[in-house]
Amino acid sequence: MFGKLLTDRWLYLLICVACLLVFAPVVFFDFQSGWDDGWAVKNSYTILGFTPTNLKYVFTNFHYGQYSPISQVIYMGIYSVFGFNPAVFHLYPLLLHIANSCLVLLFIRRISSKFACIDTARKVAFLTALLFAIHPLQVESVAWISASKIPLYTLFTLLAMITYIKYVETGKIRYYTGVYVLFICSYGCKEQTIVFPFILALLDIILSRSALVFGEKTGFQTAGRQSWGFLLLEKLPFLLFALFAGLLMYVHQNETAKEVWTGYPFSQRLVFACYSLADYFGKTVFPVNLLYLYPFPMKPGQELPVHFLIYPVLVLGLLAFLIKAIKRTHWQAVFGLLFFLINLILVLHVIAMSRAAIVADRYVTSTLPPWGCFSWHHGIV
């Protein structure tokens, strides 16, 4: 019935309308001069424009410890045409979010069609994209101009995953090359994308390319399973670039990270990681009490609050659920949880990074695409 009533064209239109209904007011906002907009957007790079010298600095320097040249080039382009018009700068991340929501619909439909009929795949994809489009955790990355690099890197990542599916289907090298180029572009927006090779490994499992397979039915015409050696060799260019980019990021953020983390021993950081993971998971399912800033629970050198010790237990419970889902081959739960974990691993504080907040809503943006699959797993669809 669902498929007969709504064509794919109408589904995409409904997703666009949902985004506009929820986030259209952002175009009336101003710059946040007291926060990052002052140095991330309204900076000398933006004003100097597309000169060879300025472009060289944009692509070869870490600005305030962050590397986001593609975002900066887009700011330069907007400024060169519209000046510092806040409405246009706010419209930019809104359009990115609309595009990402449509790409989520496409991506989840391609994945879910591997295990379900066309009508069910369409319903799962629509619910997933709708959840992604209107989820309250999206507010920070859509409404805050400085955070627009997150939906931008999400855009390139989604395009890379969709292109990878096309590569798996056809085996054509041009799609493989396209995935690699999109991966590099994604890194040019946000350093968090260095985990992408592990996302590809997860897709290999879902697409039945590895020895680990979820489910029995397949809608993908591939050459069959590949050996671990072949899959590793195939991912080697991605791994090498991720390693290089990760080391580069660590070198440029190391001093700032030391300032933030001095006084927090590794044992406390592990507890912080468990708290962050539990908090991100909880706010994804129940997005309440959202704040613009989540400070650390105590100052460096102070004792950890006793109630924080409950979070390692909660994480162990989450891992137990994941193991149970793997044993029962519930691919929806496994895919959603692993996608969630992989995309958050860099912001969980196990590795000391220059982050002054224990959690941030905007970091969950890239983890949301597969979560609607749980609606299918739990029988809602």
- Mean pLDDT, consecutive 10-residue stretches, the chain (381 aa), reads 60 95 95 86 92 93 87 96 96 97 93 79 89 93 94 95 93 95 95 92 85 50 68 93 88 62 77 90 88 85 86 87 69 79 85 74 79 49 42
Other C-beta atoms within 10 Å of 245: how many? 18
Whole-model pTM? 0.89
**What are the φ/ψ torsions at residue 51 (nearest 5 degrees)?**
-85, 150
pLDDT of residue 59: 93
Domain span at 238? 2-377
Q: How far is CA 289 from CA 282, 292, 360, in A?
A: 11, 10, 13
Sequence-separated contacts (24+) of 200-204 with Cβ below 8 Å: 200/164, 200/235, 200/238, 201/231, 201/235, 202/335, 202/338, 202/339, 202/342, 203/161, 203/164, 203/165, 203/168, 204/231
pLDDT of residue 257: 55
pLDDT of residue 212: 59
Upper half-sphere CA count for residue 165 (Cβ side, 13 Å): 20
Structure tokens at 39: 């140095």
Tokens 């609607």, residue located: 372
| 131 contacts 140 by C-beta, under 8 angstroms | no
pLDDT of residue 380: 40
Structure tokens at 242: 């991720």
pLDDT of residue 211: 61
What's the total number of domains in the chain?
1
